[in-house]
């Protein structure tokens, strides 16, 4: 048997090297990627935002990044299913750690997140963010839109997040409406999948309701997304409450009637035709979880996001 090493997250000599930590031991970064704040030569960055002060129901998503990292230890750096490749062999990836926020001054939170996201994006790296509640997507969208222009928002969610808003308000239920008004997203190219609540305004965004997701095949859902977005640069955000509570009980605002993790993963796997400029997984709240069901789903969705990026890079580089 080949010799194994441990604590790859701090001892890795290469950002492309595979880890051999035992699944049950070692320093827990996302998929054992090296912890680093150095952005030179980095293709992809995984970053945590432990913030949940914008939640309207059960708090706890501030512990989401920790839970997702812990669950990701099961990915042992063999070729990742279903991508049939070591995702990092040709995609230098780091775990950038977490965003430092002042828990006593939430008014500073949006600017802090946007500033740090902008720094990462200016390096040319792809940014995958682990939330945190869904408000964190708003300042991240601002940073991406400053670089790419208005983005097509591809949002997997049980909620539209377009509720009425006021300047300076920090609320996970209104960030999409604000992003639409501020021109951060192209509403004609944006789409929400899995919605099963009502909001006063759809902002002109295409909605695939929860009952439609139930009735459609994964291929049909993916085709709907790809056709609607077209060649426009997209931002992919996944609120874990898109999943039925049977598959993701550990979240702040669970809504019955959602899809299974298997169906959603099948949809994600078919989104390779999109130009995804950035992505996030949010609203994992481990205090309400059972047997890490939600954390495992969240970490797998995040892995798929990196898998899609690895394929995109491989195609681009020939």
How confident is the model over 61-83, as pLDDT tens digits? Answer: 999 999 999 999 999 778 999 99
CATH value at residue 258: 3.40.800.10
CA dihedral 296, 310, 92, 79 (to 10 degrees): 60
Helices then strands, each counted (H, E), the chain? 9, 9
Residue 302 located in a structural domain? yes
Residue 41 falls inside a structural domain = yes
Name the burial class of residue 81, with classes exposed (0-12), middle (13-18) and buried (19+) by CB atoms within 10 angstroms of its CB: exposed
Question: Is 171 contained in some domain?
Answer: yes
Domain residue limits at 304: 8-317
Is residue 122 predicted with pLDDT exceeding 90? yes
- Whether the pLDDT of residue 1 is over 60: the answer is no
220, burial (CB in 10 Å: exposed 0-12, middle 13-18, buried 19+) = middle
Residue 212 has pLDDT above 90, yes or no: yes
Q: Would 2 be classed as within a structural domain?
A: no
Assess whether the previous peptide bond of 82 is cis (omega < 30° from 0).
Answer: yes
Over residues 224-272, the pLDDT tens digits come to 999 999 999 999 999 999 999 999 999 999 999 999 999 999 999 999 9
Q: Is 234 helix (H, G, I), strand (E, B) or coil?
A: strand
Q: Tokens representing 265?
A: 């993963």
Give domain status of residue 3, yes or no: no
1 in a structural domain: no
- Looking at the chain, the whole-number percentage of residues with pLDDT higher than 90 is 92
Domain count for the chain: 1
Q: Classify residue 17: in a domain, yes or no.
A: yes
Which three-class secondary structure state does DSSP give residue 294?
A: helix
CB 199 within 8 A of CB 176: no
Phi-psi region of 242 (alpha: psi -120 to 50; beta: other; left: phi over 0): alpha
pTM of the model: 0.97
């Amino acid at each position: 048997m080949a010799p194994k090493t441990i604590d790859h997250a701090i001892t890795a000599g290469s950002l492309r090297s595979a880890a051999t930590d035992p699944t049950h031991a070692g320093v827990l970064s996302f998929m054992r990627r090296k912890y680093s704040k150095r952005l030179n030569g980095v293709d992809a960055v995984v970053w945590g935002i432990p913030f949940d002060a914008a939640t309207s129901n059960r708090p706890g998503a501030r512990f989401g990044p920790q839970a997702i990292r812990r669950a990701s230890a099961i990915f042992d750096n063999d070729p990742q299913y279903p991508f049939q490749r070591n995702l990092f062999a040709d995609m230098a990836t780091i775990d950038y750690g977490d965003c430092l926020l002042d828990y006593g001054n939430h008014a500073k939170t949006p600017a802090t997140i946007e500033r740090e996201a902008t720094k990462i994006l200016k390096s040319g790296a792809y940014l995958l963010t682990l939330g945190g509640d869904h408000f964190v997507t708003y300042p991240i969208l601002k940073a991406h839109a400053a670089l790419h222009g208005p983005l097509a928002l591809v949002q997997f969610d049980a909620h539209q997040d377009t509720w009425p808003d006021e300047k300076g308000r920090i609320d996970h239920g209104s960030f999409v409406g604000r992003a639409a008004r501020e021109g951060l997203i192209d509403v004609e190219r944006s789409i929400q999948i899995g919605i099963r609540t009502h909001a006063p305004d759809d902002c002109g965004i295409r909605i695939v309701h929860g009952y439609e997701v139930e009735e459609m095949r994964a291929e049909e859902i993916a085709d709907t997304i790809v056709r609607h977005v077209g060649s426009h640069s997209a931002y992919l955000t996944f609120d874990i409450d898109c999943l039925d509570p049977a598959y993701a009980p550990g979240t702040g605002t669970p809504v019955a009637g959602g899809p299974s993790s298997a169906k959603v993963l099948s949809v994600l796997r078919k989104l390779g035709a999109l130009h995804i400029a950035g992505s996030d997984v949010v609203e994992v709240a481990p205090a309400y979880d059972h047997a890490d069901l939600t954390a495992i789903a969240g970490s797998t969705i995040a892995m798929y996001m990196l898998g899609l990026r690895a394929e995109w890079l491989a195609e681009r580089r020939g």
